[in-house]
Amino acid sequence: MVKAVVAGASGGIGQPLSLLLKACPLVDELALYDVVNTPGVAADLSHISTPATVTGYLPENGEGLKKAFTGADIVVIPAGIPRKPGMTRDDLFKINAGIVKGLIEGIAQHCPKAFVLIISNPVNSTVPIAAEVLKRAGVFDPKKLFGVTTLDVVRAETFVAGITGERTPSKLTIPVIGGHSGQTIVPLFSQAQPAVNIPADKYDALVNRVQFGGDEVVKAKDGAGSATLSMAYAGFRFAEKVLKAASGEKGIVEPSYVYLPGVSGGDTIAKATGNDFFSVPIELGPSGAEKAIDVVSKANEQEKKLLEVAYKDLQGNIQKGIDFVHNPP
């Protein structure tokens, strides 16, 4: 029996993500948690004729969170405010850091063994916050904490297919590594499978579009938020892979932003990048992140230059998250 929880379930990402989880045969029980509207969203989804049972919870002075989280196998977190035009993801830190910290404290207390998938921005800092909270509670399992960077991978697949003419973009495997904001996002087109040929005059614009795809959506939504539907697709794609691997399916690999020293093969990558938190392709298994795959050392010269910029930006983002837990503002 698999219990999945969405924290932030009433939001722009939370609702379509909950819909996809409700439709997923791997989920038996779906608990929706938010500070508003979960009874309505749960009632609506509960009429869908798939096996998963659906319940909705509001905070109720901590009782709702306890009921939602207890017994969870996987918790997906899209709770928090999204960007408006002119904002960076780091501008969301002030509000979202506290939201994520509170939810992770709930996980530490009520479902410390669950897989935790963090969507809330700034991911580069919210994942280190989560790690520190879990460490402090003595329940940190680095193999089970994931920053969801799948939308960057999905965008890379889509934009590359737009150039190469591939009709099914998801047939492409393109490592997108680093972090999840601007220049910390580094696509490694040289390691695409099958190999792709990006014309030299299109390379810079393609890299820029992958790095700033989120801004494209924020601008187009013109004050009404950021990517929600593509994120729900990406969040579900990653959650489904985690669940499939947990149930014993082999050979599942997807990039994710993890605490590298806690994942097999991750130490070398952490040393090479100077960052303990970093997204690389992760081989998933029954216990979560089984192996970090070193694509960094195979980057070509162009990609190495992009990586140098990412390393520096990420260090500040990571430290900011760690400091938030140890020296609260």
Catalytic residue numbers read: 180
**Of these partners, ligand LMR, ligand NAD, none, which one is at the site of residue 79 (CB under 5 to 8 Å by kind)?**
ligand NAD
Q: Which of 77, 70, 121, 138 is closest to 102 using CA atoms? A: 77
Q: Is 163 exposed, middle or buried (0-12, 13-18, 19+ CB in 10 A)?
A: middle
Helix axis angle, 38-46 to 14-22, nearest 10°: 30
CA torsion angle 25 29 35 36 (round to 10): 70
Residue 255, interface with ligand LMR (CB under 6 A)?
A: no
Least separation, in Å, of the C-beta of 225 and ligand LMR?
Answer: 9
Least separation, in Å, of the C-beta of 278 and ligand LMR?
Answer: 17
Binding characters for ligand LMR, 194-223, by CB under 6 A (x = yes): --------------------x--xx-----
Q: 285: which strand partners? A: 288
Least separation, in Å, of the C-beta of 106 and ligand NAD?
Answer: 9
DSSP string, 108-141: HHH-TTSEEEE-SS-HHHHHHHHHHHHHHTT---
Q: Which of 198, 290, 184 is closest to 246 using CA atoms? A: 290
Residue 89, interface with ligand LMR (CB under 6 A)?
A: yes
Whichever of 212 and 291 has its CB closer to ligand LMR, that residue is 212
- Where does this chain touch ligand NAD (CB under 6 A) — which range of 28-36, 133-141, 164-172, 308-316? 28-36
**Of these partners, ligand LMR, ligand NAD, none, which one is at the site of residue 217 (CB under 5 to 8 Å by kind)?**
ligand LMR
Query: How far apart, in whole angstroms, are the C-alpha atoms of residue 129 and residue 68?
Result: 22
Whichever of 235 and 262 has its CB closer to ligand NAD, that residue is 235
Residue 126, interface with ligand LMR (CB under 6 A)?
A: no
Q: Which two tokens stand for residue 232?
A: 């729900």
Q: Which of 55, 184, 228, 275 binds ligand NAD (CB under 6 A)?
A: 228
Residue 151, interface with ligand LMR (CB under 6 A)?
A: yes
Does residue 141 contact residue 259 with C-beta atoms inside 8 Å?
A: no
DSSP string, 301-316: HHHHHHHHHHHHHHHH
Does residue 296 contact residue 321 with C-beta atoms inside 8 Å?
A: no
Residue 225, interface with ligand NAD (CB under 6 A)?
A: yes
Tell me the residue number closest to ligand LMR, measured at CB. Answer: 214
Least separation, in Å, of the C-beta of 89 and ligand LMR?
Answer: 5
Least separation, in Å, of the C-beta of 161 and ligand NAD?
Answer: 19
Q: 115: which strand partners? A: 74
Question: Interface residues with ligand LMR (CB under 6 A)?
Answer: 82-83, 89, 121, 151, 214, 217-218, 226-227
Q: Where along the sequence are the contacts to ligand NAD (CB under 6 A)?
A: 7-8, 10-14, 33-36, 78-83, 92, 96, 99, 102-103, 119-121, 123, 148, 151, 180, 225-228, 231
